[in-house]
Structure 1
């Protein structure tokens, strides 16, 4: 996968040179190239912003540096241009999966009071991290890029740990335990020590349902229960069937 990120702070993306992402990058599983928008400014002071027409607080990112940067980037990257901004759809795991299927992506990180409206002519998609304000698009781009790249084959290593995890099927992940077996009177559930793989699988599936129902009822409401899900809920939580019947 090839990714170009148009930014005012290229150094922030050095985080992808470390840990799991750093190893995947060294293996050539992806390239991530920060492009400094200031390099394309025609202003002698390399300005990329200006005061808004009509007045108002703050500064607005100008058209010229960004459009010229995009023209240059598109010579080597034909992927969609994604802007990190408040008008976009809130980022989800499903969006991460869809973007992870692409071989090329271009991200644009905004700053100040936003971008000149005319730049939307060259933006293919806008994504928001959530309903809160950040100091710049870089702070949103980093977790979004991480969530996309970790879904690419080989990035997480040889295991398949990205399959059964939080937000798959609109479910949170099941509880995890490690040594010691008993810590200050808090033991690991016996079923996990049984060695019976099928029973463990079923218990974990039930716990995904239970944890999601308790912690994120909004996600649970979107999950489509399978026949096995219903059997497990009835087996481990008889009250659930009474509640569902009464609804």
Structure 2
């Protein structure tokens, strides 16, 4: 996947040179390039913002550098242009699953009080992390790009690394344990050291359901429980 990011702070995206995404870049599975919006302004002082017409606090990003930067990157990247802003859809795991199918994407990071309204002519989609305010679009772009990239085949070591994670199929992830088997009188559940793979699978599914029901009722109410799910919940005392 090819990803281009338009930002006032391209150095912030050096974080992608590390960990699993960094390895994916080395393997040419993912290509992430950040572009400085200031490079496109016609202002000799590299100014990209101005006071809003009609008055008000704060500054607004100008349409010219934004429009020109988008047009330039579109010459080499034909993907959707996604603006990180409060009007957009809320980013979820399902959105990540859809976007990871794309071959190319362009992200635009806003700053200050927002962008000139005329910039929306060049934007295909607006996306938000949630109903809260950040200092800039970069803060939202980083987790969104990371979430999308890790779903691309070859980025993680195996598909189980993400198919069994929280939110992937609508439930929170089951508990994890590792050595030592006993720590301060707290033991690892016996089923996990039994070697019985089917029982382990059922135990993990049950734990995911129970944790989701307890911690995230909003998610649990949206679940379409299978016959097995219902049986696991009804027989939970036998399985636990």
TM-score, length basis structure 2: 0.97
TM-score, length basis structure 1: 0.95
Secondary structure of the residue aligned to 1:222 is coil
Q: Which sections of structure 2, spanning at least 5 residues, go unmatched?
A: none
Segments ≥4 residues shifted beyond 3 Å: none
Alpha-carbon separation, structure 2, partners of 1:212 and 1:18? 31
Alpha-carbon separation, structure 1, partners of 2:69 and 2:169? 38
Q: CA deviation at 1:168?
A: 1.9
Alpha-carbon separation, structure 2, partners of 1:116 and 1:52? 9
The residue aligned with 2:233 is: 233
Secondary structure of the residue aligned to 1:213 is helix
Alpha-carbon separation, structure 2, partners of 1:112 and 1:215? 36
The residue aligned with 1:146 is: 146
The residue aligned with 1:53 is: 53
The residue aligned with 1:242 is: none
Alpha-carbon separation, structure 1, partners of 2:173 and 2:6? 34
Q: Which sections of structure 1, spanning at least 5 residues, go unmatched?
A: 239-247
Q: Alpha-carbon deviations, 1:162-183, whole Å to 9, x = none?
A: 1111002210000000000010
Alpha-carbon separation, structure 2, partners of 1:5 and 1:132? 22
Q: CA deviation at 1:223?
A: 1.0
The residue aligned with 2:211 is: 211
Alpha-carbon separation, structure 2, partners of 1:234 and 1:224? 16
Alpha-carbon separation, structure 1, partners of 2:155 and 2:78? 23
The residue aligned with 1:191 is: 191
Alpha-carbon separation, structure 2, partners of 1:223 and 1:96? 19
The residue aligned with 1:244 is: none
Alpha-carbon separation, structure 1, partners of 2:108 and 2:158? 32
The residue aligned with 2:92 is: 92
Secondary structure of the residue aligned to 2:133 is coil
Contact 1:100–1:152, Cα closer than 8 Å, also in 2:
yes
Contact 2:100–2:148, Cα closer than 8 Å, also in 1:
yes
Map 1:12-161; keep pairs closer than 5 Å: 12-158=12-158, 160-161=160-161
Contact 1:169–1:223, Cα closer than 8 Å, also in 2:
no
Structure 1 vs Structure 2 CA RMSD: 1.0
Count of paired positions: 238
Contact 2:6–2:107, Cα closer than 8 Å, also in 1:
yes
The residue aligned with 1:241 is: none
Alpha-carbon separation, structure 2, partners of 1:183 and 1:237? 24
Q: CA deviation at 1:92?
A: 0.3
Secondary structure of the residue aligned to 1:88 is strand
Q: CA deviation at 1:148?
A: 0.2
The residue aligned with 2:223 is: 223
Contact 1:7–1:34, Cα closer than 8 Å, also in 2:
yes
1:182 aligns with 2:179: no
Secondary structure of the residue aligned to 2:84 is strand
